[in-house]
Amino acid sequence: MRRHTLRIVSAIAMAAAATSAALVATGSGSANPAPAPPTDTRGPGGLNLDTTTIPQLQTAMNAHRLTSAALTTFYLDRIRRLNPELHAVITTNPAALTEAAASDRSRRNGHLRSPLEGIPVLLKDNVDTRDAEATTAGSLALAQARPASDAFLVTKLRTAGAVILGKANLSEWANFRSTQSSSGWSGVGGQTNNPYVLDRNPCGSSSGSGAGVAADLATVAIGTETDGSIVCPSGANGDVGIKPTLGLISRSGVVPISAEQDTAGPIARSATDAAVTLGVLTGVDPSDPATKASAGHSYSNYAQFLRPGSLRGRRIGIWASCCSGVSNETDSILARTITQLHQLGATTVMVNLPDQATIGANETTALDVEFKHDINAYLSTLGGRHPANLAGLIAFDRAHARQEMPYFRQETFLAAQATSGNLSDPAYKKARATATGLAQKSINQTMAANHLDAIAAPTNSPAWTTDLTNGDHFTLASSSPAAVAGYPDVTVPMGYASGLPVGLSFFASRWQEPKLIGLAYAFEQGTHVRHAPRFLASTP
């Protein structure tokens, strides 16, 4: 396994030293290799933390069998032992144990703020925090930047009593820097590895969030998605991921790609934990106009929709044409899944979603313009020392190519910089309207014509062997229709091929999270597909 040593010039080294107390060793240059990662996930109180849900953790804490401090200590120790192999976590929060102790005091005083009281949460490292942890988007260019405040979703988590455990690794700049990138690699965190098979890729830009949760480095994590970056790492790492409707969760304080498609969302080992976390994250944020539309459509308690019989009587469209014929393993798993859906009471209908090539071409055109506009606006809000705009980021990468571009370049950055970045440009507006309009039409009309409750498709194929030289080897993905439309998409474990997880995505029209969560939960409880990762070195 290739290691990454961060050899940085003195100015960057000084910035890194400022957060050295929080920096998690990546194993780079380690004289003593980390011990073999244990598969034993028994934690304090004898609980198997791989299978214990958040409501069960709350019951244990209320019964004094467990404390938030003990739970947080367990995860911090596990990060120290396993992260040198996984590279899933960039930093741990120096105040995590203090936050956990405060939560325990609050519990003893009878003040439980939410279902996430005392629950340790990892944040993708493009989510702003006001404390000692830097928010880098995986790039050394932001090593000395300092957000003015917490992201709105972090404020929601803190108010709920959650413990901010640390920052998860990610594909640098949420995988919007190069056309030949390796998912899960960043200049700050190195290459994230898949805990099921360590030489396989974790997929998607929320790679550390997906791999970290799967490896029991936290109870739950927050990821972000523009197109596939919550659902793909969830699918590839055997997790449940919720990519919500655009505007259900605020993006204020999240490093952007596009305000037309970006959203944050929970990644967890169970539908229960994902649903519980989603309820804490919702809310109208005056700083994010998109959230205004969520009023009347959001819930603080999505756990109420966790009904094991939710598939009975439902009509599910199977979008197999997106993905069939490219992965025999995935085709076989999907065929078995269709049988399982029937056994759980659903009717399935084979469907096709039209105009995907046109949607994809216009999405790319629109995202380039939006990224230049949105990243320049975000950088203008940051304190500390950092490049002022996208042109400055490009110049930084060139000046520090040894650290930032040892494997792949910045073709996507250059394409975005070549645009006007003007959201009033007629050509841009046409591309965005075409992409979003056709994506919404393809879902809405397909569902209406077939009287569907949801559309289902494979989330991913079995993870490819990580290739830092040639980049990712995607064979299939089903994320784009919901991502471009701004519609919800929930993925749940569907099966395994050679020990590698494959997910099943359920998506539908706007604000349909309650229905999709119910479908995912019913499938999860009716099949019990997921098992804990085995940390295999490789597989044929």
What are the tens digits of pLDDT across the range 270-322?
999 999 999 999 999 999 999 999 999 999 999 999 999 999 999 999 999 99
Examine residue 391 and state whether it is found in any structural domain, yes or no. yes
The whole-number pLDDT of residue 38 equals 64
Per-residue pLDDT band at 24 (split at 50, 70, 90): very low
Examine residue 205 and state whether it is found in any structural domain, yes or no. yes
The whole-number pLDDT of residue 172 equals 98
What's the CATH code of the domain at 489? 3.90.1300.10
Phi-psi region of 146 (alpha: psi -120 to 50; beta: other; left: phi over 0): beta
The whole-number pLDDT of residue 19 equals 36
Instruction: Tell me: pLDDT of 1 over 70.
Output: no
Percent of the chain's residues with pLDDT above 90: 90
Domain span at 330: 49-527
pLDDT digits (tens, 9 = 90+) for 375-410: 999 999 999 999 999 999 999 999 999 999 999 999
For residue 346, which of 314, 300, 317, 376 has the smallest C-alpha distance?
Answer: 314
Query: CA–CA separation, 312 vs 333, rounded Å?
Result: 21
Instruction: Tell me: pLDDT of 77 over 60.
Output: yes
Examine residue 6 and state whether it is found in any structural domain, yes or no. no
pLDDT digits (tens, 9 = 90+) for 35-51: 534 699 999 999 999 99
Instruction: Tell me: pLDDT of 3 over 90.
Output: no
User: Model's pTM, two decimal places?
Assistant: 0.94
The whole-number pLDDT of residue 324 equals 86
The whole-number pLDDT of residue 29 equals 34
The whole-number pLDDT of residue 22 equals 38
The whole-number pLDDT of residue 526 equals 98
Mean of the per-residue pLDDT values of the chain: 93
| Segment 369-373 mean pLDDT | 98
pLDDT digits (tens, 9 = 90+) for 8-20: 333 333 333 333 3
Examine residue 456 and state whether it is found in any structural domain, yes or no. yes
Instruction: Tell me: pLDDT of 338 over 70.
Output: yes
The whole-number pLDDT of residue 131 equals 79
| Segment 239-268 mean pLDDT | 98
Number of domains in the chain: 1
Examine residue 132 and state whether it is found in any structural domain, yes or no. yes
Instruction: Tell me: pLDDT of 27 over 80.
Output: no
Instruction: Tell me: pLDDT of 25 over 90.
Output: no
Instruction: Tell me: pLDDT of 223 over 60.
Output: yes
The whole-number pLDDT of residue 132 equals 63
Q: Which two tokens stand for residue 429?
A: 């507006």
At 357, the amino acid letter reads A
Examine residue 118 and state whether it is found in any structural domain, yes or no. yes
At 439, the amino acid letter reads A
pLDDT digits (tens, 9 = 90+) for 129-162: 997 678 999 999 999 999 999 999 999 999 999 9
Query: CA–CA separation, 204 vs 184, rounded Å?
Result: 7
At 333, the amino acid letter reads I
Pairing of strands 383-384, 347-350: unpaired
Examine residue 26 and state whether it is found in any structural domain, yes or no. no
The whole-number pLDDT of residue 9 equals 32
For residue 246, which of 439, 415, 107, 57 has the smallest C-alpha distance?
Answer: 439
With a CB cutoff of 8 Å and minimum separation 6, the contacts of 313 are 345, 346
The whole-number pLDDT of residue 539 equals 86
CA distances from 336 to 83, 228, 344, 460, 476 (A): 35, 24, 13, 16, 18
Examine residue 236 and state whether it is found in any structural domain, yes or no. yes
Show which residues are catalytic: 124, 205, 229
State the DSSP string of 316-341: EEE--TTTTTS-HHHHHHHHHHHHHH
With a CB cutoff of 8 Å and minimum separation 6, the contacts of 15 are 134, 143, 144, 385
Percent of the chain's residues with pLDDT above 70: 92
